[in-house]
């Protein structure tokens, strides 16, 4: 980031000082802006549509906006697992969240706590436990009755690096060196 700032300072001309506008950083599907504009982040963008992550005060949602409104209506789903990656095509969309790597002592403290000692915290403990695992969520766009949403929880400590989706498959690469293919 510092290199970019230094290059911008070097390239700056008199006109740039007056206008003081720079193009946004480029992005590709399955990545996020470092500094999201407002409360929106682009998770995926292609010819099928755009997947946005919208952070509101009380909830976070994943919004899918289709380029062809005749194909499918726009959808909004709750972001229960903290989506960080997404991919979509005409068969469906896949969302993935990364596990948070924490200190081993923190995990031991969470497990050692008794139910009696726990305070009512609105589910914060459950969310913290969910973030110990990476999650994958698939939502099909087909109207066929036998195709349903599915969810998969990876092993504890396994972190998703990237994902892809095809016509009848979805794939995830993890930091354990696994390529997990779902059909």
pLDDT one-digit tens code per residue, 137-147: 999 987 776 77
Q: Please give the pLDDT value at position 173.
A: 93
Whether residue 138 contacts residue 83, with contact meaning beta carbons closer than 8 Å, is answered with: no
Q: Please give the pLDDT value at position 64.
A: 92
Q: Give the tokens for residue 99.
A: 């596990």
User: Rounded to 10 degrees, what is the CA torsion of 4, 30, 27, 167?
Assistant: 150
Average pLDDT, the chain: 75
pLDDT digits (tens, 9 = 90+) for 7-54: 555 555 666 666 665 555 555 554 555 544 457 788 888 899 999 888
Whether residue 83 contacts residue 97, with contact meaning beta carbons closer than 8 Å, is answered with: yes
User: Rounded to 10 degrees, what is the CA torsion of 151, 157, 162, 165?
Assistant: -20
In whole angstroms, give the CA distance from residue 156 to residue 135: 10
- Answer yes or no: pTM beyond 0.85: no
Q: Please give the pLDDT value at position 108.
A: 53
In whole angstroms, give the CA distance from residue 104 to residue 91: 40
């Amino acid at each position: 980031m510092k290199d970019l700032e230094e290059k911008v300072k070097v390239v700056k001309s008199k006109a740039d000082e007056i206008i003081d506008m720079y193009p946004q950083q480029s992005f590709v599907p399955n990545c996020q802006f470092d500094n999201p504009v407002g409360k929106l982040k682009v998770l995926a963008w292609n010819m099928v549509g755009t997947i946005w992550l919208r952070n509101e005060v009380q909830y976070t949602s994943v919004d899918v906006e289709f380029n062809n409104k005749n194909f499918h209506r726009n959808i909004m789903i709750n972001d229960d697992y903290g989506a960080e990656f997404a991919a979509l095509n005409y068969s469906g969309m896949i969302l993935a969240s990364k596990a948070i790597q924490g200190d081993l002592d923190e995990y031991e403290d969470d497990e050692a706590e008794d139910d009696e000692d726990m305070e009512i915290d609105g589910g914060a403990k459950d969310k913290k436990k969910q973030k110990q695992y990476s999650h994958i969520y698939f939502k099909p766009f087909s109207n066929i009755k036998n195709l349903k949403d599915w969810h998969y929880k990876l092993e504890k400590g396994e972190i998703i690096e990237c994902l892809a989706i095809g016509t009848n498959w979805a794939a995830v690469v993890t930091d354990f060196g696994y390529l997990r293919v779902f059909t």
